């Protein structure tokens, strides 16, 4: 079990430190750290860790699906995602609606999730629309103002 845990920790450290968008590049970076793995094991690790690909300059990059709380990296990514891909916001009741350029809702949604905002209960994303369920109607208004200011 120690090998798997060590490998998982190494994977998370590598994708936090470097912009890596391909399994071959991730495998090479792990080998530099002395962690040797097969492609099938790496694929399984990526699934187990909940790692996703998100848009990045020049292509895409791996990142953990959920971060415990907002970091400088996740805030920077959030600001970039909001400014580059959000086209508008709306609200109804406890739900904020975020409209994005087609194909970018998943990445923007993931950035919102990683921000760890207290007022957010959960999110759902399609191709160009995100539903953000908030705890109160007042929280929707505050969150909408925050998102609009960041974009």
Q: Does 78 lie in the same domain as 135? A: yes
Single residue among 17, 36, 64 that ends a domain in this structure: 64
| Confidence at residue 1, expressed as pLDDT on a 0 to 100 scale | 39
Same domain, 89 and 139: yes
CATH of the domain at 57: 1.10.10.10
- Number of folded domains in the chain? 2
Q: What is the mean pLDDT of each run of 10 residues along the chain (151 residues)?
A: 79 91 94 92 88 84 66 70 94 96 92 85 96 95 91 80
Burial of 128 (0-12, 13-18, 19+ CB in 10 A): middle
For residue 132, give the CATH number of its domain: 3.30.1360.40
Last residue of a domain, one of 64, 80, 98: 64
Q: Are residues 143 and 112 in the same domain?
A: yes
Q: Which residues contact 145 (CB under 8 A, 6 or more apart)?
A: none
Provide the residue range defining the domain that includes 15.
Answer: 2-64
Say whether both 144 and 90 belong to one domain: yes
Q: Is the pTM of this model over 0.85?
A: no
């Amino acid at each position: 079990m120690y090998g798997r845990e060590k490998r998982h920790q190494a994977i998370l450290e590598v994708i936090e430190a470097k912009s890596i968008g391909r399994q071959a590049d991730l495998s090479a970076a792990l080998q530099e750290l002395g962690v040797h793995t097969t492609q099938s094991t790496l694929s399984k690790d990526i699934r187990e860790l909940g790692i996703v690909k998100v848009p990045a300059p020049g292509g895409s990059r791996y990142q953990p699906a959920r971060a415990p709380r907002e970091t400088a990296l996740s805030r920077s990514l959030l600001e970039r995602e909001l400014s580059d891909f959000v086209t508008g916001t709306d609200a109804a009741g406890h739900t904020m609606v975020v409209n994005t350029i087609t194909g970018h809702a998943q990445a923007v949604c993931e950035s919102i999730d990683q921000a760890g905002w207290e007022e957010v209960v959960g999110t759902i994303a399609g191709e160009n629309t995100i539903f953000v369920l908030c705890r109160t109607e007042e929280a929707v208004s505050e969150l909408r103002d925050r998102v609009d200011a960041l974009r």
